[in-house]
Structure 1
């Protein structure tokens, strides 16, 4: 049986014709309503206090009549499946949504299995319709439309996959991603294309967007990218150190969208397929740079000049007239994206950072330090305190500050003979002359260990004794550190020195000198011996 629905305007028209004194036949012919219906509406109006020919009928009266005579089908009776499942409604609810907060509800497939095990055999589709009707299973929640932001207040950022484009750096086709930055008030947008989604690509894309817009918004809503957000949390997210530093440098607030909630950034979310379908697909691209050049032109000439489906305005015109002046100024140098890392100081006093090595003071050996590196400097922190800086080295490079080494190891590691000579001269004049003689020649580095030992002798025996020993060794042209130490050990550093030329030399009696005749043996001549025979 079909029902003819009547609206408020149809009832009002009938009442107005009755008020003007038209007959039921004429009203039926004009409005296509039956006489019984017309009489019923007139009777209800009179019950509500209306008098034909008196007061003019209004919408309020027609609405009251409509509410009393609202047509419609009878309430549907439960079907066979519903009659079978209704006695078990409480059990099904407890399976899908247990009362305990610590327990997770069962999947509907498991509920279907449990019902079958109890002998309640229904189709899975019928069970799905039943729980949707009686248990609000996966029913869509009501939503509200958020208030529109003010000019220059919010920008939404998101990555989207475009397709394959040739990359000359690796000589093959690679996936190209688009980083979209959409201004929420004007819907004006900028698109940055990249082959990866690293933190450096994210920051470079946002920097290009600020330069394109010639200003910065107060707040940036972005997805929970792994390189930008260390811990995704609705209430207390933890941001990646470099991205937080960038936000502070540019002066905007990071506002990550809720996890797995695309409605948290709807404006840029809907722009991703628009860029892919309207701009990227169906075109022939040479490389990423070609896509980027055409993308900027497309943002200005196509996306910016179209009539937006929600605002019914042209985004570029709204941006130029209302939003551009509300943006914070984009000034200063381009952000130098730093790299952060946790490194361990090795026993050789160095850390490895970005494929280069840097020295650290000796007291931090075998400890973990925090390293920040950019294009100019590498800064090393220990428990938040800056302990060392180095100029940034290219991969494979090395930056060593030899003052980081222990003092006793510095000279040898420097391999600097002049430094050792200066240290020896500070310990004594003859010690300095001895070091100069020791390190003379074309290859002084071969005697570095002896020079080191010479410096250590002063610490062991005192500078005075070593200086006297060096004086004696120089006098005898005895340039050898081991024999110099023997002079000290035997206490000969105070003995006399060889006389100068021209002076009388007094020879001491040798201890083992034999008499002159000890090696003289008497013998006869050979001729005398022969005559005697």
Structure 2
């Protein structure tokens, strides 16, 4: 066996390839091959007692061990890359490996040996072991059990501060942030910052069963807080809370919480911060140190493992971070409005007396019925009691009343005819107040439900020809009389038509007579 450790140690001492070859009794070609492979794999001193020549050979040239068995070698780099892809498993890759062996007429490894060799390769060569966790698959989140504090500038009292922790199990990269509370707003804000820190989102999000995120979690049903569910949908992830009293469902974050409690919370025990921003700067500095600390049994760090083996697998973030919203229930009042924080917002009048769900953001108020959005308003601010009413939500009679302005009244009359416009101008010009005139015009406009535009124009023409002071009541009377008169004339016309159709008309020729002139 080559003296791998001697070759690498002499190289670190600065000896030339010729000197190393002469000292170890190997060719310069072999020495060059070993040094190039060690540089490629990132293997460098100091070397401990466990790193024997055999260990180094298996690390640098794993394929040689497999080739000696007479079986078809496994392309571990290919297996490692393919496992990062969605839904790819070792079972599928072993099946493809067997097909390749049959094609090349080579003897394959069994599935158990395949998995064993890959596990040994991943443990030795990679910072992450994908046989346990796929990259970009899971993010585990929790509040740390230990707390820290900031100092109130005015009173000098210590204010308790909580630490949010998020971990990617594959690379073990963690995120931490200090917060003054553990309410829903802080929970969502910390998630937004964690996704921004990682630069992407995972397929699955595993929280604890805290009330701010999970309303109910039993073997039969899972009910999430609506805001938390909405945030997960925004980032394209699925929330799968850990089972009650089952910390093994999220072991990575549980382990990270303990380590972060030591390397961040305990490390800051002698720091005196006077604001949350100042404390978070300290936390982030310690966090960077924590993520860059080298792994003890293998090369690399959490950050390097993330950048090399997991970052590419994260889903891209949306263009904008999630804007927090809150939900509440409301009942539609008889005036087709709902009350939200002493402000009133309209919904379609068909939903009067119905229970609806209301989603509140900083800018919008959205109303849902059976998970379907039925109304949306810009959120009102300022004095209480303001109304936001959408015209499309009103019944037809309310629309007519709301639309009453002198300009709208004239536009309507102009569509009917010139005589109707004269009546409208007279009402607007002679009424004591504009409101009284508009009420009279509103009554006149409602007549359009029973009479055609032609009938209204004809009645206005008759009124204008009879008097210089037309009234709505006189127009109503004329319309009613005209209706009766038109009905009588129509009945008379039909009767005459019927008699003419069924009468017998015989001329003189029928009776054998002749004209006198003849």
Q: Structure 2 length normalisation: TM-score?
A: 0.56
Q: Which residue is 2:235 aligned to?
A: 250
Q: Secondary structure at the match of 1:337?
A: coil
Residue by residue over 1:472-512, the C-alpha shift from the partner in whole angstroms, topping out at 9 and shown as x without a partner, is 65564426545665777899xx9xxxxxxxxxxxxxxxxxx
> Is 1:299 aligned with 2:287?
yes
Q: Which residue is 1:417 aligned to?
A: 406
Larger Rg belongs to: 1
User: How many angstroms does 1:157 deviate by?
Assistant: 0.6
Contact 1:377 1:392 in 2 (8 A): yes
Q: Please point out which of 152, 155, 158 is paired with 2:136.
A: 152
Q: Which residue is 1:478 aligned to?
A: 469
Higher relative contact order (CA 8 A, sep 6+): 2
Segments of 5+ residues of structure 1 without an aligned counterpart are 1-146, 495-533
Residue by residue over 1:255-294, the C-alpha shift from the partner in whole angstroms, topping out at 9 and shown as x without a partner, is 2112244454322442463366325433222322222233
Q: Which residue is 2:370 aligned to?
A: 383
Q: Secondary structure at the match of 1:388?
A: strand
Q: Which residue is 1:229 aligned to?
A: 214
Structure 2 distance, partners of 1:165, 1:413, is: 57
Structure 1 distance, partners of 2:335, 2:280, is: 47
> Is 1:341 aligned with 2:315?
no
Structure 2 distance, partners of 1:415, 1:279, is: 72
Alignment of 1:47-446 (within 5 A): 148-160=132-144, 162-165=147-150, 175-234=160-219, 236-265=221-250, 266-271=254-259, 273-274=261-262, 277-300=265-288, 302-306=289-293, 314-353=301-340, 356-374=343-361, 378-394=365-381, 398-440=387-429, 444-446=434-436
Contact 2:264 2:287 in 1 (8 A): no
Structure 2 distance, partners of 1:447, 1:424, is: 14
User: How many angstroms does 1:450 deviate by?
Assistant: 2.0
Compute the RMSD of aligned alpha carbons: 3.9
Q: Please point out which of 446, 456, 466 is paired with 2:446.
A: 456
Residue by residue over 1:387-436, the C-alpha shift from the partner in whole angstroms, topping out at 9 and shown as x without a partner, is 33444544655432112211112132345332233334444432232223
Q: Structure 1 length normalisation: TM-score?
A: 0.54
Contact 1:149 1:184 in 2 (8 A): yes
Residue by residue over 1:124-178, the C-alpha shift from the partner in whole angstroms, topping out at 9 and shown as x without a partner, is xxxxxxxxxxxxxxxxxxxxxxx8534433322112463554799xxx9864332
Segments of 5+ residues of structure 2 without an aligned counterpart are 1-130, 486-518
Structure 2 distance, partners of 1:460, 1:153, is: 67
User: How many angstroms does 1:192 deviate by?
Assistant: 2.5
Contact 1:184 1:267 in 2 (8 A): no
Closer/same/farther in 2, CA of residues 205 and 309 from structure 1, 3 Å limit: farther
Closer/same/farther in 2, CA of residues 177 and 222 from structure 1, 3 Å limit: same
Residue by residue over 1:80-101, the C-alpha shift from the partner in whole angstroms, topping out at 9 and shown as x without a partner, is xxxxxxxxxxxxxxxxxxxxxx
User: How many angstroms does 1:455 deviate by?
Assistant: 1.8
Structure 1 distance, partners of 2:304, 2:478, is: 95
